[in-house]
Amino acid sequence: MILRSEGRPAHGRPAAGTGRFAAIDFETANPRADSACALGVVVVDDGRIVDRIYELIRPVTPEFTFTAVHGLAWAHVRTAPTFGEIWPRIQARIGAVQFLAAHNAPFDRRVLSGCCVSYGLPPVPHPFVCTVTVARRVWNIRPTRLPDVCARLGISLRHHHADSDAEACARIVIAASAAGWRPARSGAP
């Protein structure tokens, strides 16, 4: 199924069934779980994108070993706010969501948890849905790297840009919902 840019399936009906959720993507400076240096969040309500958030984040250390992956370096984030400064604002904008969606959710869950621990913030109560698992279950897509899934579904992507990755993840969930997928009550795919 090819999606139009406004988040509707190509057949014209809005994708319903997911309620309100937020797709999330972190880029990290290094292998540490608390080294988030960029965050993209896309909020979806009843199959429509209603909010987009992109933040550069100053990690706890200036050590950048993943610059070749995402193009970000300490010079880009040294004056950016910390995770502890941005997360309360982001949580307020996300509001009451049923789940968080991420492509390779264990990675983003680990980064979110690591950052919350480092800044003394409470853990995030929302369950995660992994769009890798969703893509395999709904369309039997393999391999399930984000560029592969996006190519198969006709979703545009600038890979390893947190805002683009988060929007692509949101559109995967919207497309899966249009194909009949529904999140489990626990939030698991």
| Cα first-last separation, the chain | 19
**Whether residue 5 has pLDDT greater than 70:** no
Higher pLDDT, 4 or 36: 36
Exposure string (b/e) for 72-93, b if CB count within 10 Å is 16 or more? beeebbeebebbeebbeebbee
The DSSP code sequence of 73-138 is -HHHHTTSPPHHHHHHHHHHHH-S-SEEEETTHHHHHHHHHHHHHHTTPPPP---EEEHHHHHHHH
pLDDT for 141 equals 97
For residue range 146-166, list pLDDT tens digits in order: 999 999 999 999 999 999 999
In this prediction, residue 74 carries a pLDDT of 98
Kindly report the backbone phi and psi dihedral angles of residue 74, in degrees, each rounded to the nearest multiple of 5, phi listed first.
Answer: -55, -40
Q: Residue 101's closest CA among 149, 154, 158, 34?
A: 149
**Alpha carbon distance 28, 70 (integer Å):** 9
For residue 12, is pLDDT > 50?
no
Whole-model pTM: value is 0.89
Cβ-in-10-Å burial (0-12, 13-18, 19+) of 172 comes to buried
Q: What domains does the chain contain, in order, with CATH numbers?
A: 20-178 (3.30.420.10)
C-alpha 75/C-alpha 78 separation (Å) is: 6
pLDDT band at 188 (very low <50, low <70, confident <90, very high): low
**95 or 32, greater pLDDT:** 32
Neighbours of 112 (CB within 10 A): 26
* Residue 159 three-state SS: coil
Taking residues 42-71, report their average pLDDT. 97
pLDDT confidence tier of residue 21, bands split at 50, 70 and 90: very high
